[in-house]
Amino acid sequence: MSDTVLHATDADFDSHVLASDQPVLVDFWAPWCGPCKMIAPALDQLAADYAGKAKIVKVDVDQNQQTALKYHVRSIPMLLLFKGGQVQATQIGAVGKAQLAQMIDKAI
C-alpha cells in the first residue's frame, strides 16, 4: 500500500475530497473485491505520478456506507473524479492505469 493514497471515511470524506484544491480520483472499493485488488497497484503508481497535482483517495464501501450511498455506488470498483467538489467523471469497473491517467489529465 502506498503512503500517497489517502483512505477517506464518512467522517473525513468532505475534507479530503470535496474541499481539496486539487482534482481527486476516488476509488470506491472493498477488501473482498477481486477487480478492486487488481487496480490497486495502478492507483498507487498514479498517486506517486500525480503527487502535488492530484490526489488518489480510497473509500472502503463496507466501512463507509453513507458516502457510498450518497454517490450511488452500486458496483465496485467505481472511480469518481472530483474537481472543485463536483463529480467530473465516472468509471465503473477495473480499467488500466492509462485510462485512469486520462481521467485525471482532463481535470488538471
**33 labelled catalytic:** yes
Closest alpha carbon to 101 in 89, 93, 85? 89
Which residue in the list 8, 17, 24, 36 is annotated as catalytic? Answer: 36
Which residue in the list 24, 25, 26, 33 is annotated as catalytic? Answer: 33
Contact call for residues 24 and 55 (beta carbons, < 8 A): yes
Contact call for residues 69 and 19 (beta carbons, < 8 A): no
**35 labelled catalytic:** no
- Residues facing residue 25 across a β-bridge: 56, 81
Give residues with Cβ within 8 angstroms of 83, minimum separation 6.
23, 24, 107
Tell me the C-alpha to C-alpha distance, in Å, between residue 11 and each of 16, 60, 67.
10, 13, 9
Active-site amino acid positions: 33, 36
